[in-house]
Amino acid sequence: MAEPSYDLIVLGSGPGGYVAAIRAAQLGLKAAIVERENLGGICLNWGCIPTKALLRSAEMLHHMKHADSFGLALSGEIKPDLGKVVGRSRAVAKQLNQGVTHLMKKNKIAVHMGSGVLTAPGKVEVSGEKGKETLSAKHVIVATGARARDLPFAPADGKRIWTYRHAMVPPEMPTELLVIGSGAIGIEFASFYNDMGAKVTVVEMLDRIVPVEDAEISAHLEKSLTKQGMTIRTATGIEDLKADANGVTAKIKGKDGKVAELKFSHAIVAIGIVPNTENIGLDKLGVTMERGIVQTDGLMRTNVAGISAIGDITPGPWLAHKASHEGIIAVEAIAQALGNKQVHPHAMDKSNIPGCTYCHPQVASVGMTEAKAKEVGHKVKTGKFPFIGNGKAIALGETDGFIKTVFDAETGELLGAHMIGAEVTELIQGYTVGKQAELVDEDFIQTVFPHPTLSEMMHESVLAADGRVIHI
C-alpha cells in the first residue's frame, strides 16, 4: 500500500492542533491529525472545559447555600453528590469530544489514532489502531501539548497525591486538602474543593498567590479566599511529602525558615507543566529546544524546514487560546509558502493575550501589571472601580471585586487591565479588543456602555484613571 500523503500533518489534536487542521482545510490543504488519546486533547477532555463544569457545580452550590439572601427558602440539607458532579463534568467533556470528531469529518480531515514520531522532515510514523503506518506531508505542525509537573521527591500516585487529572475524577472527597502551587490550576481546584466542603490549605513558594497577576489583584484574592475559609501560606515551600493509606504528611517551610509537619487527607500538586517533546523525533531531526521547549519564529516555524510547533511545547504563556491562534498563524504561513496569496500571516503580540482564572471570585487580565509598566519606563496613570459601586453587581449579590486599568499617562495608551469579581472572565475581552486595536483612554471614555451591566465598571475604571469617575 502507498503511504498516505498530505499537504499538512498535525501531531496532536488539542485546541492548537484541531484548530490548525480546520484552518488548513478551509484553505484547501489536504490535512491529517495524529492523536494518541482523545480528540480535543487535554484541554477539552481533562483541562479547560471539564474543570469549568466542576466549578459551575461548585458555584451553584455556593448560591444555593445563600438562597435566603435572595428571598428563597430551600427545604432539607444542601449537600453535593461528588459522583454526580464528576459525572456531569465527564459528560460535558464527552459531548465536546464528539463535537471535535464531527468537525474533523465535516472538514474532511483524516484522523490517525496512535502515537506519532517524526522519522524525517515530512515523515510521521504512527503506531496505533492500524498497527504501524508511515504518513508523509510537505509540512508538519507539532502540537503535542504538555503534562503536569511532579514534585521530584513525591510523584503523584492518584490515590493521595494528585495532579489536576486525578483531581478531576477523585476516588473520594478530600476532607483536608493541601494545594501546592497557586497558579490558575491550583487556585481553581482550591476554590472548587473549598466550595464542596473540604478544608483547603494553599502553599505558594512566591510572596503572593496568582503571582503573574497585578499585586492588588493577588492581595484581594487572598483576602477573599481567606474569608471563605481557606488557609493561604505564601513564601512557603514543601520540604517533603509522604503518602500512606491514611493521608499525606507534608513538611512545610514557612517564611520564618521553620519547618512544620502537617497532615492532610490529600494533596494536589500544581507547580507547572512539562512539554511533551520527548520521544517524538524532534531531537534527532535537530529541532532547537531549550529545556524541552521548542523555539520558533513569529510564524511558528522551527529551525528545521517543514516543521512548525505551536501551543504548550513552545514558550508561554501556556494557554489554550494562545495555542489556537498560533495554529492559525502556522497554517496560514504554510499556505502562503505553498503559493496561497490570499493569506497574510503575522506574528502574534503576546502582550495582547488575556489570562483567566475561574475561581470564586474570578480573575482576568490582559497586558502589563502596574509594576511592570513602571519597570519598563512608562509614566502611568491607573483607575479602579469596585463592584460595590455597580448597580448590576448589587442586584446579583456579587459585590466582591474591582476593575483596574493601567494607562500611559502621556499617550493614553492602554497598557493593562486587571479584574477580580463575578464574570470578569467574560468582560476581559473588551479590553483585549482595545489593546489589539491600540485604543487610548479617550476611546473608552467616548464609548457608550449599556446599563445596567457589569461592563459599566470597565467604563468607570477608565474614567477613574482620568479623574472623572461618576459612581464613587
- Indicate if 451 belongs to the active site: yes
pLDDT of residue 42: 87
Q: Residues in the chain with pLDDT < 50?
A: none
Fold for the domain defined by 161-271: FAD/NAD(P)-binding domain (3.50.50)
pLDDT of residue 1: 58
Q: Is 219 left (phi over 0), alpha (psi -120 to 50) or beta?
A: alpha
Q: Does domain 5-148+275-337 have CATH number 3.40.50.10860?
A: no
**Three-class SS of the chain:** CCCCEEEEEEECCCCCHHHHHHHHHHCCCCEEEEECCCCCHHHHHHCHHHHHHHHHHHHHHHHHHCHHHHCCCCCCCCCCCHHHHHHHHHHHHHHHHHHHHHHHHHCCCEEEEEEEEEEECCEEEEEECCEEEEEEEEEEEECCCEEECCECCECCCCCCEECHHHHHCCCCCCCEEEEECCCHHHHHHHHHHHHCCCEEEEECCCCCCCCCCCHHHHHHHHHHHHHCCCEEECCCEEEEEEEECCEEEEEEECCCCCEEEEEECEEEECCCEEECCCCCCCCCCCCCEECCEECCCCCCECCCCCEEECHHHCCCCCCHHHHHHHHHHHHHHHHHHCCCCCCCCCCCCHHHCCEEECCCCEEEEEECCHHHHHHCCCCEEEEEEEHHHCHHHHHHCCCCCEEEEEEECCCCEEEEEEEEECCHHHHHHHHHHHHHCCCEHHHHHCCCCCCCCCCHHHHHHHHHHCCCCCCC
| Chain centroid to CA 464 | 30
Model-level pTM?
0.95
Examine domains 5-148+275-337 and 161-271 and report if their fold is the same: yes
pLDDT of residue 46: 87
What length is written for the chain?
472
Q: Going edge to edge, which strands form the sheet with 259-264?
A: 237-244, 247-253, 259-264
pLDDT of residue 37: 92
Q: Which three cell numbers stand for residue 36?
A: 494518541
Contacts of 288 (CB under 8 A, 6+ apart): 294, 295, 302, 303
Q: Which three cell numbers stand for residue 98?
A: 464528539
Contacts of 89 (CB under 8 A, 6+ apart): 50, 51, 53, 54, 57, 168
For β-strands 307-309 and 131-142, DSSP reports them as parallel
pLDDT of residue 78: 87
Distances in whole angstroms, Cα of residue 294 to Cα of each of 87, 318, 364: 36, 13, 27
Q: Which residues pair with 243 in a beta bridge?
A: 248
Of 245, 246, 184, the C-alpha closest to 211 is: 184
Q: Catalytic residue, from 63, 66, 346, 451: name it.
A: 451
Write down the domain spans for the chain.
Answer: 5-148+275-337, 161-271, 361-465
pLDDT in tens, 445-460: 999 999 999 999 999 9
pLDDT of residue 302: 98
CB atoms within 10 A of CB 17: 29
Of 121, 114, 31, the C-alpha closest to 308 is: 121
CATH class of 361-465: alpha beta
Q: Which three cell numbers stand for residue 440?
A: 487610548
